[in-house]
């Protein structure tokens, strides 16, 4: 479990990039928090810098769009999903639970 930031520092419509390896992007989509791998599965771009609309984020480089709930691309040029991760809020702090750690840690 990784503390990310205070909830108030991630307002609706914003994203933050966590410098894990590989990096992870945490989004506040109209009040719902989501986390996915930050690097686009198409080429090399940071999805936390993309355009957030509803539950979709559009890649800032070639406009592939990913569903934050599933990590799946909804259009080309991306074909492969990105991993999703669990996010919780404890004491007003946003926490990230890495997908690979699920069940082992925490």
Partner 1 sequence: MRTVTVVGASLAGLYAARELRAQGFDGRLVVVGEEPHAPYDRPPLSKGFLTGGAGEETLALGDAEETDELAAEWLLGVRARGLDVRGRTVLLDDGRTVPTDGVVIATGARARRLPGAVPAGVHTLRTLEEARDLRGALTAGPCHVVVIGGGFIGAETASSCAALGHDVTVVEAAPLPLAGHLGERLAAACAALHDRGGVRLLTGTGVRELHGRRASVTPAAGHRGRDTVAAVELSDGRVLPADVVVVGIGAVPNTEWLAGSDLAVDDGVLCDDGCVTRLPQVVAVGDVARAGGVRSEHWTSATQQPAVAVRNLLAGATVDTTRPVPYFWSDQYGTRIQFAGRRGDGDTVRITDGALDEDGFLAVFERAGRTTAALAVGRSRPFTRVRRELLSAQRGLAPV
- Kindly list the residues in this chain that would bind partner 1 in the complex (CB under 8 A): 43-46, 48-51, 60-63, 76-77, 79
> Residues 43 to 72: which contact ligand FES by CB under 6 A?
43, 45, 59, 61-62, 64
| Beta carbon nearer to ligand FES, 6 or 62 | 62
Are the C-beta atoms of 54 and 30 separated by less than 8 Å? yes
Interaction between residue 40 and ligand FES (CB under 6 A): yes
Tokens 């590989």 belong to 22
CA torsion sign for 66, 80, 48, 45 is negative
Phi-psi region of 54 (alpha: psi -120 to 50; beta: other; left: phi over 0): left
Out of ligand FES, partner 1, none, what residue 78 binds, judged by CB under 5 to 8 A for its kind, is ligand FES
């Amino acid at each position: 479990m990784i503390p990310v930031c205070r909830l108030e520092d991630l307002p609706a419509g914003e994203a933050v990039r966590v410098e894990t390896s590989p990096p992870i992007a945490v989004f506040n989509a109209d009040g719902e928090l989501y986390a996915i791998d930050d690097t686009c599965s198409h080429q090399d771009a940071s999805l936390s810098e993309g355009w957030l609309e509803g539950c979709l984020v559009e890649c800032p480089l070639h406009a592939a769009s990913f569903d934050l709930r599933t990590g799946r691309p909804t259009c080309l040029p991306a074909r492969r999903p990105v991993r999703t991760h669990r996010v919780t809020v404890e004491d007003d702090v946003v926490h990230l639970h890495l997908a690979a750690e699920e069940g082992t840690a925490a």
